[in-house]
Amino acid sequence: MNKMTIDDIQVKSKRVLVRVDFNVPMENGMVTDDTRIVESLPTIKKILADGGRAILMSHLGRPKGKPKPEFSLAPVAKRTSELLGIGVKFASDCIGEPAKEAVASLKDGECLLLENLRYHNEEEANDENFAKELASLGDVYVNDAFGSAHRAHASTEGVTRFIKPAVAGYLMKKELDYLGKALENPVRPFTAILGGAKVSGKIDVIQNLLNRVDTLIVGGGMAYTFYKAKGLEIGDSLLEQDKIDLAKSLLEEVSKRNIKFLLPVDCVVADKFDNAAQKKTVKVDNIEPGWQGLDIGPETVKLFTDVIAASKTIVWNGPMGVFEMENFAVGTNAVATALASVTKTGAVTIIGGGDSAAAIAKAGLEKAVSHVSTGGGASLEFLEGKILPGVAALTNR
């Protein structure tokens, strides 16, 4: 990575404006999953230990430009205080007098969290004046919010025009190191596993990975559009009718390349979309009308897990079935277990955020793989080969 990081700057007695991704799940005014806060603690602790004044800013939910109590970051400040073991101050706004006064009162080694950036429409509009106001609160800028790096917002891109240097925090660096090395210089064999509901959401990823992987595995709901493209009966399984021709062209493209392209060979079908539905395992060319595929079958589990076991770099983005329903989570859990197992033998295993991150956490294996991305949309765009505005805006070395 040719961008400056937090290790390249001195922060003592400086106001360090830090974009974090504290967009965490909340219930009844309490944080229910603090993973994203925990992931940014190394960056915050480094600033505080070096005598910097940490000014944290984040969005939470979609308040649509208006202050709404249910989207306040105040409970997040409380949880961050508990995790850091020191009091985290809280400003009732991210700009204006409340923010200026809170920043002015900070001493070396102290931490402040600003109120939700998205209480102002100017944040998502990347408004220049808003970005300038945010920038005025700091002497240096650190972006540790990989989960928001694919958005050119005021706090991720606009602010860097008015405050230099703009550097990556430890979480941002870790994300870019893992994903970047996987794409640019993977230890081979390199396998990508793509799942989830729709082909349309993964087209660019597939096309980018075709040039890079040794094996491309496709499972989940998106597989059925490929079957339809092959002329198979898929019953009531998920189908993107308008993507059949695209699936055909992707299959033709794959056949010309020296890579393995694996689709499920059997699947678990159900007579309705319900955990308690009647279910059975069938070959993929034997799906009857009225039935829908909701998971991969045992033969496919063996096929996929054998490939995983023989790989040295694996990127996984998207579940193999409806993992939220226990009866259709077998395939997704098997992939998670196989990834945990191959990690022990030295393979690099990267979980691409979103549903995959939720699935591996549900399986209790998030600590057993090399890296779980905190950014679903950002990791997807990175895998598509796109430039992330929040990364591009950082200061080059």
Q: Rounded CA gap, 222 and 205, in Å?
A: 13
Cis amide linkage into residue 289, ω under 30° from 0: no
Residue 69 resides in a domain: yes
Where among 118, 145, 170 does a domain terminate? 170
For residue 38 the two structure tokens come to 């925990």
**Is residue 277 located within the same domain as residue 341?**
yes
377 flagged as catalytic: yes
pLDDT band at 1 (very low <50, low <70, confident <90, very high): low
* Cα 30 → chain centroid: 22
pLDDT of residue 353: 67
**pLDDT over threshold 90, residue 78:** yes
Which residue in the list 89, 100, 198, 230 is annotated as catalytic? Answer: 198
Which residue in the list 138, 196, 354, 390 is annotated as catalytic? Answer: 354
Where among 170, 187, 213 does a domain terminate? 170
pLDDT of residue 197: 87
CATH number at residue 56: 3.40.50.1260
pLDDT digits (tens, 9 = 90+) for 25-55: 999 899 998 989 999 999 999 999 999 999 9
Note down the domain range covering 45: 6-170
Phi, psi of 136 (to 5 degrees): -65, -15
Which residue in the list 3, 36, 46, 79 is annotated as catalytic? Answer: 36
The model's pTM: 0.87
Asked if 88 and 98 count as a contact pair (C-beta separation under 8 A), the reply is no
**pLDDT over threshold 90, residue 12:** yes
What percent of the chain has a predicted confidence (pLDDT) above 90? 83
CB neighbours of residue 96 within 10 Å: 12
Beta bridge partner(s), residue 3: 396
**Is residue 68 located within the same domain as residue 198?**
no
36 flagged as catalytic: yes
pLDDT digits (tens, 9 = 90+) for 264-293: 999 999 999 999 999 999 999 999 999 999
How many independent structural domains does the chain possess?
A: 2
For residue 303 the two structure tokens come to 């096929």
**Is residue 122 located within the same domain as residue 258?**
no
pLDDT digits (tens, 9 = 90+) for 306-343: 999 999 999 999 999 999 999 999 999 999 999 999 99
**pLDDT over threshold 80, residue 349:** yes
pLDDT band at 57 (very low <50, low <70, confident <90, very high): very high
198 flagged as catalytic: yes
pLDDT digits (tens, 9 = 90+) for 198-217: 888 888 888 889 889 999 99
Among candidates 172, 195, 222, which has minimal Cα distance to 373?
172
Q: Judging by DSSP bridges, how do beta strands 266-270 and 292-296 pair with one another? A: antiparallel
**Is residue 99 located within the same domain as residue 129?**
yes
